[in-house]
């Protein structure tokens, strides 16, 4: 378990600060993560990687010559925000374009895509290559749905070497995709990991059993078998991976890079015992091993587990894999001379607050009170939300909601003090929430707040009809953004009935407080009913059957929030003088 921490919600920030200080030879802190602290003096394509913290040496530990130029580093097991990715990519782009590469997880895809769209609108040439190496997370006919695990390193190494060799952006993207197509991984675990401040691991494996097909975010395995011997585990790894040799490759006579990866608390000596048999079994199948790696390459905090990755080579991939690289977490050969890079300046641009009507400023004050209510509700429920999330996910929902809600409240209060109207207060809160929380929920809550704000504006009077339209707009925006529908076991299962009920009650002439009360009740009932559903989207989809019997944490947190806003704000403001606003 994790023993050394201060405030669990601040753990990732403090870890990044300490990492940047300890690894100053390779990295320097930048808004959103880290970038290289050295340069060769030659402009190249910039490789920007990233993901949640808790996976060292991924992702910050893979920044350095021959590897990544920067890493966007999110909260523990939560994707970095779009703002973090944008900041790191902007700092790294020298004019030859940016390749974004990361594991295929819902939150990462949402935030990196938002960042890519913004960067392109600003004139940057940006491409994306998702890593999809985990064979257990989806069948071969749905290979694009697979998640990225330790195979991240193969794609990052090949792309980084190509950039260092002077490839243009088309070329770096091409070889990164080729490396991903040629990479397969398979992992197991003997116990789950424990997040800072938690009193239990994210999942348990019964004594004498082994979880098969786990992810790197504390997700439980997809299957369970008896604990094997080291030789039996090596055989399981090799047999499963050789069942799916990439297209165009024949195992006999092929050349392959094996990566035997420890996930946190399986130690090097144990891995070496396993690898001795991996090497023999590959040789028995006529496969030539090239430059293998054994050790901690992509961890899951303190998880007891390991994975095997095979990168199937051709001449170009072998040259790029073998090229020199130097980072705090991965080194190969000897890189050329480097010089200190210019320090990244942490610029803070104070945004002006536009004009707002008196009526809209009064609405902004109510919005700020609503944020206070949200913070109180989320703080009270954080542990339970984390517990719900760990059943089929990664257990970070409570921490992410806490970070996001506090940041949103502070930003909305600051906007209110600056004279903001309703739209600006919600927009400022949305950006801060997304940036601080990261993850899928951070992106979705930013979408909700911004959609409501767009309907309310900064000039018009805010009444019940405008609020109902804003909530309907938010519901539609979240469905369009996340591609979820009612029944997928997501936050949408609570948002839609909330929006429907609010619109129906307001349309019938009810005052906002009573209509919101009824809508909050509908959201609560719908959230609880998700316990009967099977998860079909997001990280939980790999554990769909396991999710049955537990309500969706995103739906539960939404229902708790709208109930808290009613009980602590709207009900108290439903005096005759406040009717209709």
pLDDT digits over 292-303, tens only? Answer: 999 999 999 999
Q: Could you give the 3-state DSSP secondary structure of residue 331?
A: strand
pLDDT of residue 67: 98
46 & 165 share domain: yes
- For residues 84 and 25, membership in a common domain is answered with yes
Query: Which pLDDT does position 37 carry in this prediction?
Result: 96
pLDDT digits (tens, 9 = 90+) for 475-498: 999 998 877 889 889 999 999 999
The answer to whether residues 317 and 429 belong to one domain is no
* pLDDT for position 580: 41
Residue 244 maps to a domain: yes
Tell me the CA distances in angstroms from 381 to 10, 300, 444, one per residue in order.
18, 25, 19
- Domain check: are 150 and 236 in the same one? yes
Q: Is residue 400 part of a domain?
A: yes
**Which of 131, 173, 126, 122 is CA-nearest to residue 151?**
131
How do residues 154-183 score in pLDDT, each as one tens digit? 999 999 999 999 999 999 999 999 999 999
Is beta strand 331-332 parallel, antiparallel or unpaired with respect to 325-326?
Answer: antiparallel
Task: Give yes or no: residues 300 and 409 share one domain.
Answer: no
Known catalytic residue at 217: yes
| Mean pLDDT, residues 351-374 taken together | 93
Q: What is the pLDDT of residue 342?
A: 83
Report the pLDDT averaged over residues 112-120.
Answer: 96
- Per the domain annotation, does 335 fall within a domain? no
User: 375 falls in which pLDDT band (50, 70, 90)?
Assistant: very high
Length of the chain: 581
Whether residue 378 sits in one domain with residue 282: no
Q: 101 and 131 in contact (C-beta within 8 Å)?
A: yes
Q: Give CA torsion, residues 491, 495, 498, 502, to 10 deg.
A: 160
Looking at 12-26, 123-137, 430-444, which range is the least confident one?
430-444
Residue from 217, 397, 543, 566 carrying the catalytic annotation: 217
- Asked if residues 388 and 556 have their Cβ atoms less than 8 Å apart, the reply is yes
Say yes or no: 386 and 292 in one domain: no
Which of 277, 310, 325 is where one domain is finished? 325
Residue 576's pLDDT band (boundaries 50, 70, 90)?
Answer: very low
- Overall average pLDDT of the 228-245 stretch: 97
User: Pick the residue with more confidence: 190 or 573?
Assistant: 190
**3 in a structural domain:** no
**pLDDT: which is higher, 573 or 239:** 239
The set of long-range contacts for 139-144, using a CB threshold of 8 Å and a minimum separation of 24, is 140/244, 144/104
Of the pLDDT bands very low, low, confident and very high (cuts 50, 70, 90), residue 541 is: low
In a domain, 350, yes or no: no
Query: What is the per-residue pLDDT for 196?
Result: 86
Instruction: Write down the pLDDT at residue 391.
Output: 76
SS (H, E, C) 411-439: HHHHHHHCCCCHHHHHHHHHHHHHHHHCH
Instruction: Pick 219 or 4 by higher pLDDT.
Output: 4
**Beta-sheet pairing, 304-312 with 255-262:** antiparallel
pLDDT of the residue at 575: 46
Report, as an integer, the average pLDDT of 276-290.
98
pLDDT of residue 396: 77
pLDDT-wise least confident of 14-18, 70-74, 392-396, 482-486: 392-396
Residues 303, 364 within the same domain: no
Q: Are residues 288 and 392 in the same domain?
A: no
For the chain, the domain total comes to: 2
Contact residues for 348 (Cβ-Cβ < 8 A; gap 6+): none
Same domain as 179, residue 92: yes
Average pLDDT along the chain: 91
Domain that holds residue 218: 8-325
Q: Flag whether 333 is in a domain.
A: no
Highest mean pLDDT (candidates 134-138, 222-226, 394-398): 134-138
Of 272, 306, 325, which residue sits at a domain end? 325
């Amino acid at each position: 378990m994790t023993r050394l921490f201060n405030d669990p919600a601040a753990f990732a920030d403090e870890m990044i600060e300490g990492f940047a200080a300890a690894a100053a030879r390779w990295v320097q802190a930048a808004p959103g993560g880290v970038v290289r602290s050295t340069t060769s003096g030659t402009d190249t394509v910039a490789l920007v990687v990233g993901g949640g913290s808790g996976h060292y040496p991924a992702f910050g530990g893979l920044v350095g010559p021959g590897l990544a130029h920067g890493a966007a580093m999110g909260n523990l097991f939560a994707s970095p925000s779009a703002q973090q990715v944008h900041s790191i990519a902007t700092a790294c782009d020298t004019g030859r374009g940016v390749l974004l590469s990361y594991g295929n997880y819902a939150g990462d895809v949402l935030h990196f895509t938002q960042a890519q769209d913004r960067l392109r609108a600003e004139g940057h040439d940006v491409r994306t290559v998702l890593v999809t190496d985990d064979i257990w997370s989806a069948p071969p006919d749905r290979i694009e749905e697979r998640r990225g695990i330790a195979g991240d390193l193969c794609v990052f190494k090949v792309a980084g070497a190509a950039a260092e060799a002077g490839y243009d952006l088309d070329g770096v993207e091409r070889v990164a995709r080729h490396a991903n197509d040629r990479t397969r991984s398979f992992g197991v675990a003997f116990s789950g990991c424990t997040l800072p401040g938690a009193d239990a691991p994210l999942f348990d494996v019964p004594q004498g059993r082994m979880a098969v097909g786990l992810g790197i975010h504390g997700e439980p395995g997809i299957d369970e078998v008896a604990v094997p011997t080291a030789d039996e585990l090596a055989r399981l790894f090799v047999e499963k991976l050789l069942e799916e040799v990439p297209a165009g490759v024949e195992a006999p006579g092929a050349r392959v890079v094996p990566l035997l990866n420890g996930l946190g608390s399986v130690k090097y000596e144990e891995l070496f015992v396993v690898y001795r048999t991996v090497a023999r079994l590959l040789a028995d199948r006529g496969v030539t091993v090239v430059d293998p790696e054994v050790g901690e390459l992509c961890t899951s905090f303190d998880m007891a587990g390991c994975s095997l990755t095979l990168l199937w080579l051709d001449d170009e991939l072998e040259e790029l894999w073998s090229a020199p690289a130097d980072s705090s977490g991965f080194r190969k050969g000897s890189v050329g001379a480097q010089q200190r890079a210019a320090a990244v300046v942490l610029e803070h641009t104070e945004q002006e607050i536009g004009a707002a009507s008196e009526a809209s400023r009064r609405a902004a004050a109510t919005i700020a009170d609503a944020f206070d209510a949200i913070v109180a509700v989320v703080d009270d429920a954080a542990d339970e939300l984390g517990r719900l999330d760990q059943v089929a996910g990664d257990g970070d929902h409570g921490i992410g909601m806490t970070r996001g809600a506090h940041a949103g409240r502070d930003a909305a209060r600051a906007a209110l003090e600056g004279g903001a109207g309703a739209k600006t207060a919600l927009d400022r809160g949305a950006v801060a929430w997304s940036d601080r929380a990261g993850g899928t929920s951070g992106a979705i809550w930013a979408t909700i707040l911004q959609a409501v704000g767009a309907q309310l504006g900064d000039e018009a009077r805010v009444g019940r009809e405008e609020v109902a339209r804003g909530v309907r707009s938010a519901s539609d925006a979240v469905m369009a953004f996340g591609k979820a529908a009612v029944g997928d076991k997501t936050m949408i299962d609570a948002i839609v009935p909330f929006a429907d009920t609010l619109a129906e009650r307001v349309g019938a002439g009810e005052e906002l407080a009573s209509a919101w009360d009824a809508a909050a009740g509908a959201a609560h009932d719908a959230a609880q009913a998700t316990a009967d559903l099977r998860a079909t989207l997001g990280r939980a989809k790999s554990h769909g059957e396991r999710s049955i019997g537990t309500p969706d944490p995103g739906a539960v947190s939404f229902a708790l929030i709208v109930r808290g806003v009613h009980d602590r704000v709207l009900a108290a403001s439903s005096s005759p003088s406040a009717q209709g606003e």
